[in-house]
Copies of this chain bind each other. A is one copy, B any other.
Amino acid sequence: MSASDEPTDRPASGAEPTSRFAREVPEGDDHLRLVCRDCGFINYENPKVVVGSVAAWEDKILLCRRAIEPRKGFWTLPAGFLELNEDAATGALREAWEEARARLEIDQLLAVYSIPRISQIQLIYRARLITPEVAAGPETQELDLFEWDAIPWDLLAFPSVHWALADYRAVRDLAVFAPRGNPPGEDGGLSHP
């Protein structure tokens, strides 16, 4: 994922400015917000949405080796931040194209993960590759279609990649299922497996 479970090169709202912004509670609000002391601009910070897919060709799952930090060199699912004015499924398709030149057909929502520590909501879809032709995009070092037993389990980039693969496996025989969530007790911190 270009979006990550780690503090990232694309923080929740950019690096926090040092001078003109102060944290205050605007009138009628009940949360601290970043407010510009000069112009009154209120920078509402909210969680970011990550959209991605567990995408398969036959029994093989598409994974990408990250060419960028964080977790450069580790393997991840095609996923990234939803952009403004984009619907969620379209964002997942875009990320698969950007990172893996993959064309997908989305089946259904596999999982919704919350990673409160870094204020991320991840929407991960179950998808099929329309063709097995894939190629590394600029944020990907290399990529491959992996049989289940060949997945580089020790080199996965983030806990949520583990979760999504396990959830994909858990529902593989189900045509209809409720989307999965975080494993019990897990919040996406890297101290977890």
Query: How far does the alpha carbon of A20 sit from the alpha carbon of B21 in the complex, in Å?
Result: 13
Query: Do the beta carbons of B176 and A46 come within 8 Å of each other?
Result: no
- Contact call A121/B119, Cβ cutoff below 8 A: no
Task: Check if A85 is an interface residue, CB within 8 A of chain B.
Answer: yes
- A129 at interface by CB-CB < 8 Å: no
Q: Oligomeric state, in number of copies? A: 2
Beta-carbon contacts under 8 Å, A8-37 to B: 10-20, 31, 36
* Residue of A112, A114, A181 ringed by the most chain B CB atoms within 10 A: A114
- A147 CB–B CB distance under 8 Å: no
Q: Which residues of A from 26 to 52 have beta carbons under 8 Å from B?
A: 31, 36, 39-49
Q: Name A74-120 residues within 8 Å CB distance of B.
A: 81-90, 108-109, 112, 114, 116-117, 119
A161 at the interface (CB under 8 A from B): no
Enumerate chain B residues within 8 angstroms of A85, measured Cβ to Cβ: 116-117, 119
Q: Does A179 contact B (CB under 8 A)?
A: yes
Q: Say yes or no: A121-B82 contact (C-beta < 8 A), given A17-B39, A39-B17, A87-B114.
A: yes
A87-B114, A89-B114 given; 9 more Cβ-contact pairs under 8 Å: A45-B84, A47-B49, A47-B83, A82-B121, A86-B116, A87-B182, A87-B187, A88-B112, A109-B178
Please give me the 8 A-B residue pairs with the lowest Cβ-Cβ distance, nearest first: A87-B114, A14-B42, A17-B41, A84-B119, A85-B116, A108-B178, A46-B48, A88-B114
